Structure 1
């Protein structure tokens, strides 16, 4: 999106975006910065004295094994990075959150129907949906907590899927909008939930997948 078409919804605000050196995280950090935010990229110390927005985006998928074939070390890594790290980050950050602050978790459409090649990854992303609901209640009324569930996005993280022309074409055909999403699409949805325009939204997950979803 052109800079001239972007508003300034985060002027004077401080945002933390984890795993933001590439892909979806980078696009989110860039979008928030273009809208005026001071963005802390994956830092535990530099906090500008306050925190208005936290986007928890870090995730791994170290194995394509079935859940019952997964090594314990793999299960531990998936849970540690995809779920536990988000909780620890908020424990550290919560004393610095401002009134009216916003948390956005980045989950995945895999949370609703974990694919066979990413089963445990999908399960950890399902956990983020529950974490969103639980923390929305726990952190109300001063902090909102929401979630974005991206569809298939052609980033380095998903290249084992999107670099395969047959798989990519199949996904595009099954998607009502007939294309894969972009990191910028995810950034736009995240920026909306983090902004004051979503001030009466908490505990919700927005699926950004071109209409490809198993939800009613």
Structure 2
């Protein structure tokens, strides 16, 4: 059955930035599909809450409290997965971020930190994870990029540049790791998380964001999790080096021909 291709029974996944928001939704979705999950983030209390959700789905969870701005911490997760669950099949490089600020209020140091947090950590875990996967049955790696890595928006110089690099890193690493490991990415648009609430807390700002999105709503973490599940499973067995834009149509053609609404 086609739905069997969306299953991860007997598989083991590592999800970074798994304590809340998009990362938590991804971890739970993978567990619902049958995977045991290694959960990594900075805040132990948040990780324990997500781990409980994974166990409620009948799967095992292992919590790793770690500062993933350090690439070495990310690389260590591959070995932890093997030590705890004897294998590694799926890596989701979700951790990332960056300080908002335009060029005039940014610095080279801010840019370098954004690259380290968004690209270097993903690279470290990709390398370590690939080494494990190549000794086993292969696997799938999914990177969480961002729509701002493609479109230009004021105030996102460091973050957007780093995410653009992660997007192309996805394509290049996919070429190197094929055919046994598939590497793809998801590029979310505006997704309603606790971080976003701080930016769009005012109703006028939220309305502005929704009005600029063709689907006229802010995304939900589960919208991203569903795309990651697809890329992590055999449902996407013939995809590698691709980026799925989960952005409410932000990248769709925006041409108004003056025709009446359908």
User: TM-score normalized by structure 1?
Assistant: 0.91
Among 169, 173, 176, the residue aligned to 1:135: 173
Q: Distance in 2 between matches of 1:173 and 1:91?
A: 40
**2:56 matched residue in structure 1:** none
User: Larger C-alpha radius of gyration, 1 or 2?
Assistant: 2
Aligned to 2:55: none
Residues 203 and 191 of structure 1, relative CA distance in 2, 3 Å threshold? same
Q: 2:26 aligns with which of 18, 25, 28?
A: 28
Q: Which moved more, 1:38-47 or 1:20-29?
A: 38-47
Q: Which moved more, 1:161-170 or 1:188-197?
A: 161-170
Q: 1:39 aligns with which of 37, 40, 43?
A: 37
In 2, the alpha carbon distance for the partners of 1:214 and 1:111 equals 15
Verify: 1:158 aligned to 2:196, yes or no. Answer: yes
Listed one character per residue, the Cα deviations across residues 99-148 of structure 1 (whole Å, up to 9, x for unaligned) are 34100000111011131122210111101111011011000000000000
| Superposed displacement of residue 71, structure 1 | 2.8
Kindly indicate whether residue 98 of structure 2 is the aligned counterpart of residue 61 of structure 1: yes
C-alpha separation between the residues in 2 aligned to 1:114 and 1:50?
40
Describe the shift of the 1:83–1:214 C-alpha distance in structure 2 as closer, same or farther (beyond 3 A).
farther
How many residue pairs were aligned? 211
**Structure 2 gap segments, 5+ residues each:** 41-63, 65-76, 255-262
| Post-superposition CA distance 1:146-186 (Å, at most 9, x none) | 00000101112222333132221112112221111100010
Task: Tell me which stretches of 4 or more aligned residues in structure 1 moved more than 6 Å.
Answer: 5-8
For residues 49-198 of structure 1, the aligned pairs below 5 Å read: 49-62=86-99, 64-97=100-133, 98-198=136-236
Counterpart Cα distance in 1 of 2:11 and 2:203: 41
3-state SS of 1:116 partner: coil
Counterpart Cα distance in 1 of 2:245 and 2:217: 15
Greater mean alpha carbon deviation, residues 93-102 or residues 66-75: 66-75
For residues 32 and 172 of structure 1, the distance between their equivalents in structure 2, rounded to whole angstroms, comes to: 29
- Partner Cα separation in structure 1 for residue 253 and residue 38 of structure 2: 34
Q: TM-score, normalised by structure 2?
A: 0.75
Distance 1:150 1:32 in 2: 18
